[in-house]
Amino acid sequence: MLRPGLLQLGLAAVVATALLAGQGGLLQYTFPAAALAVAVVLERRSLTAYLSFVIWLWMLTPFVRRVADHQSGWHEPSLILLAPYAASVWPPARELLVATVRSIRAWPRLEGLGLFVVAAIGAGFGIPLGMLTAPSRAVVETLNWWGPIAFGAYIALRTTDPAAVERALARTLMVSSLFVGLYGIYQFQSPPVWDKEWIVNSEIASVGYASEFELRSFSTTASPAVLAFLMLPAIMLWMARPRLWQIASVAAALGALALSEVRVAWLALLVAACLVLWRVGVRERVAFVACLLFFAVCIAAVELPPQVSEVTSKRFMSLLRPSEDESAVSRATGHTQVFDVILDHPLGIGIGIEEQNLSQVIGARDSLIIAVFVQFGILGATVYLLAMIALLFRLWRYYRDAPTREGMALGATAIGLLSMMLGGNQTAGAVGTLIWIAAGLGTVPVRARRLARHAVQSELSPAKVVTLRPAVAPGGVE
């Protein structure tokens, strides 16, 4: 029987061989199917290996798509991009369906998952109109919104050892940030041809131009914003537990974060960093301050080319003068114009659909508030935003009560990301998966307390009320 690590390496080797042989076109159909097959096998053997696999898929799948399109021609939509959705949706959907059926006989089986249910209901208000307007896009966006919610609920159901899951997640994020961050730095200074082609074909103006020092780094991810937000956890994890051998990963993450030029992510970093520093001890604070000099040297090395320092310094100074920044003014204007859209479309216009006039000012991915009111309507947005308030409280309790440094850092990162909902849609897609994973881990103790209380009320032992499925098969957690 193959070990989980060998199974993941085997898939990576097959994909790399296909790309090196110039057969990227074969991956259009085989890569999503192979990712799903590997995910199903891993999920049955080891929760931590399965979680790591999903994170890597979110990090690397857009890169596989770009290289494959370079070899076989532009595909829009690309089936390759379905790989992380397939891997992260099917096993949780099966688990939640089984838990729901069993809850008919033992209702506490779903205890503590109300937050996830309410969020899913709120997003569900936009599905009918979306299906009527643009079915294919609505299906993808439904996965984009519902997938992370289902994955977080799945983590809450499956996890019996949160510390082991947190350690595995921390290892994955630290290692991935090294490779993804270094590629993002290289990409900014010398973008490969497949990245240039993607910039031209995707027609995403916010990425910049397909030339050296004139693009916003997006590395192996789907956009500069996704790259920036995915680099935050590694930085927070290091701040919570500074280790010398992890400095390279953090330096790469900081460099990629700077070159992405996503100011909302910079602000989220500030919020999360304050939360981490608030909880760590004096020794960690001293270590953090001491290492700032090292990071300053690392970033200075990246900033040596005058083109780099000019771009990043200009972007940073715009934070101090928001009234003179076109992007900030556009976002403010968009949040005022959304009221007109709400009056014209009180039921929303459908999940994944953008209002043409409003999208010229601000896109749905530029603000969670804009996205939910425009796509879900007044009622759906109200339900979803109530779930976001509950989510923030759940994350705060997870951050405050986390017994491990990794849990505290993950909770702080999720709070920092969610606090920027006016500047991006952080609860869907790859970034949303990280937030809902943190919510799932924070739900584990909530479920334990409620199940114990239910057992007392029923005058039964907790074991007779519900038996949680083991987090992993024997030997699954290292």
Supply the mean pLDDT for the chain.
Answer: 81
What tens digit of pLDDT does each residue of 334-362 get?
Answer: 667 777 778 887 888 888 887 777 776 77
Instruction: HSE, CB side, 13 Å, CA atoms: give it for residue 286.
Output: 3
Beta bridge partners of 208: 215
Whether the per-residue pLDDT at 441 is higher than 90: the answer is yes
* Top-confidence residue, 457 or 406: 406
Token code pair at residue 366: 């530029």
The yes-or-no verdict on residue 300 having pLDDT over 60 is no
Residue 381 vs residue 301, higher pLDDT:
381
On the 0-12 / 13-18 / 19+ scale of CB atoms within 10 A, 285 is: middle
Q: What is the pLDDT of residue 234?
A: 92
Confidence band for 176, pLDDT divided at 50, 70 and 90: very high
Does residue 137 surpass a pLDDT of 90? no
pLDDT in tens, 37-67: 899 888 888 889 899 999 999 999 999 999 9
Confidence label for 465 from pLDDT (cuts 50, 70 and 90): very low
Mean pLDDT over 10-31 rounds to 86
Which of 95-99, 206-210, 341-345 comes out lowest in average pLDDT?
95-99
Q: Where are the domains of the chain?
A: 111-447
What is the pLDDT at residue 467? 44
Question: Average pLDDT in the 324-333 region?
Answer: 66
Rounded Cα distance between 332 and 336, Å, is: 7
pLDDT of residue 78 exceeding 60: yes
152-168: average pLDDT: 89
Closest among 19, 89, 94 to 54, alpha carbons compared: 89
**Residue predicted with more confidence, 467 or 341:** 341
- Whether the per-residue pLDDT at 135 is higher than 70: the answer is yes
Cα torsion 259, 264, 270, 271: sign: negative
Q: Is the pLDDT of residue 466 over 60?
A: no
Nearest to 93 by CA among 34, 185, 157, 166: 157
| First CA to last CA distance, the chain | 17
Give pTM, 2 decimals. 0.86
CB 344 within 8 A of CB 374: no
Residue 281 has pLDDT above 80, yes or no: no
Give the model's pLDDT for residue 306. Answer: 60
Q: Which two tokens stand for residue 346?
A: 């009180």
pLDDT of residue 321: 60
Per-residue pLDDT tens over the stretch 234-256? 999 988 888 878 888 888 898 88
Report the range of poorest mean pLDDT among 174-178, 225-229, 258-262, 432-436.
Answer: 258-262
The band of 92, judged by pLDDT with boundaries at 50, 70 and 90, is: confident
pLDDT of amino acid 396? 93
pLDDT at 180 over 80: yes
Q: Report yes or no: 87 and 43 within 8 Å, Cβ to Cβ.
A: no
**Lowest model confidence (mean pLDDT) among 264-268, 279-283, 344-348, 449-453:** 449-453
Q: In 3D, which of 194, 224, 222, 193 has the Cα closest to residue 206?
A: 224
Could you give the CA distance from residue 307 to residue 2 in angstroms, rounded to a whole number?
Answer: 48
How much is the average pLDDT of 194-218?
83
Q: What is the pLDDT of residue 43?
A: 85
Per-residue confidence (pLDDT) for residue 470, from 0 to 100: 44
Angle in degrees, CA 415, 416, 422, rounded to 5: 100
Quote the pLDDT of residue 459: 57
